[in-house]
Amino acid sequence: MSRKNILYISGSLGLGHIVRDLAISHELRKQNSEIEISWLAASPASSLLKDMGEKLLPESDLYANDNMIAENAAMEFHLNLLKYLFHAKKAWAHNADIFREIVNKAAFDLVIGDETYEIAVALIKKPSLIKIPFVMIYDFVGLHSVTKNPIEKLGVYLWNRIWSQDYKLFSGGRNLALFVGELEDIGGGRFGYLLPNCRAHAEIYYKFVGYILPFDPMTLMDKAKIRAKLGYGEEPLVICSIGGTSIGKGLLELCGEAYPIIRERLQNLRMILVCGPRISAESIRAPQGVEVREYVPALYEHFAASDLAVVQGGGTTTLELTALRKPFLCFPIEGHCEQEIHVGGRLERHQAGVKMLYSKATPELLAKQILLNLGKEVTYPPIPTDGAKNAALLINQLLLQSHQIN
């Protein structure tokens, strides 16, 4: 097969998606040395791509940043996804226009979009928009109303009605929908009244690849070895992280407030607050003794070295901790149906983590839970972590099929 050019668009919030996208791209190249990948992504994903030496399209500087939209729509530790979608409407139209310009002027053989809903919606409305195969990556299916507000319920219904029409893209074999996870990760309810069942829809039109991690968990099971590599001692270690957006700054400061309470019982405790790429360390209020860091590359290594993690309810971070078999406390962003319902359901199925609510938490309650779970032996069942390899196999098959047709 001759050289194939792929446009890879890494969408959605934070850094979890770009980390798995890089894992998929690594497997794509491993399986097919004739692949050339060009990336379209906004910050902070674009910064990571630059650091990795990837080919980033100049249009990335014009691509609307979903992280900023979400942060503007959020209220402290609360983000209603429907409200976010309303705020994102104009930006999504802008991104769809940029996408059209790129595919019309460049000779790509395939497009991959990781939760690029703006592209998927544009293609659902007009499937003939591009003449090359399109791959969409999902990790949850369907929105849920998290309040009794009738406007929200109507908005969720209308959005899900569009989502349920993605069969127009994926029923003919020309395009491909990949689901990061297992069939059981999808709830058994409908998209809405007279709309398809979400799980049944996904089973027909999506391919399930398992979970995607940027590391092999088995290489990180020797905690003493990892600690020595990272410069940690034998002290009890708690890593607190909120991911790639600024939503959740208050959770880091809550962890800091719990620290002196824990120290009354555990004087050698070491606590590290990881701000991520969109919060400065100087902006965090933390008591003496608590370490504050900004972006930490390969944060999963620090999770592997820890005795406990305190995190948001993000899909990637909680998967990493589950695969590493680490005890953790997770705080789903309230009103965020993906974290509250989809990720929450998966964690319950995996028997992983302790769910807490930021709105109900106090420094005293958090300190109590940290002491209860610090270094606790976990019994999570094993999870499939070969998703990047499986995804790359399916994408390469689509490329080969497209080449043979053309």
Residue 155's pLDDT is 87
Greater confidence, 282 or 373? 373
Report yes or no: 181 and 316 within 8 Å, Cβ to Cβ. no
Q: Could you tell me if 322 and 280 lie in one domain? A: yes
- Please indicate, yes or no, whether residues 228 and 295 belong to a single structural domain of this protein: yes
CATH of the domain at 237: 3.40.50.2000
Whether residue 380 lies inside any domain: the answer is no
* Exposure string over 343-380, b if 16+ CB within 10 A, otherwise e: bbebbeebebbeebebeebebeebbebbbebbeeeeeb
Cα–Cα distance between 363 and 252 in angstroms, integer? Answer: 11
Please tell me the predicted confidence (pLDDT) of residue 129.
Answer: 85
Q: Are residue 188 and residue 235 in the same domain, yes or no?
A: no
Q: Please indicate, yes or no, whether residues 188 and 203 belong to a single structural domain of this protein.
A: yes
Q: Which residue from 346, 393, 343, 387 is spatially nearest to 208, judged by alpha carbons? A: 387
So what's the pLDDT on residue 272?
97
Same domain, 263 and 278: yes
Q: Which domain holds residue 367?
A: 217-373
Residue 404: pLDDT band with limits 50, 70, 90: low
- Give a yes or no: residue 378 inside a domain: no
The band of 1, judged by pLDDT with boundaries at 50, 70 and 90, is low
- Higher-confidence position of 206 and 243: 206
CA distance 365 to 183: 35
Is residue 248 domain-shared with residue 276, that is, in the same domain? yes
In a domain, 20, yes or no: yes
Q: For position 81, what pLDDT does the model report? A: 66
Q: What is the pLDDT of residue 274?
A: 95
pLDDT of 304 reads 97
Q: Are 181 and 139 in contact (CB under 8 A)?
A: yes
Residues 133 and 49 grouped into a single domain: yes
Question: What confidence tens digit (pLDDT) does each residue in 340-394 have?
Answer: 999 999 999 999 999 999 999 999 999 999 999 999 999 999 999 999 999 999 9
Domain count, the chain: 2
- Based on the domain organization, do 142 and 282 belong to the same domain? no
Q: Are residues 9 and 133 in the same domain?
A: yes
Neighbouring-strand partners of residue 135:
112, 176
| 50-98 residue pLDDT tens | 999 999 999 999 988 777 777 777 777 887 767 777 777 888 889 999 9
What is the pLDDT at residue 279? 85
Q: Mean pLDDT, to the nearest integer, of 234-238? A: 97
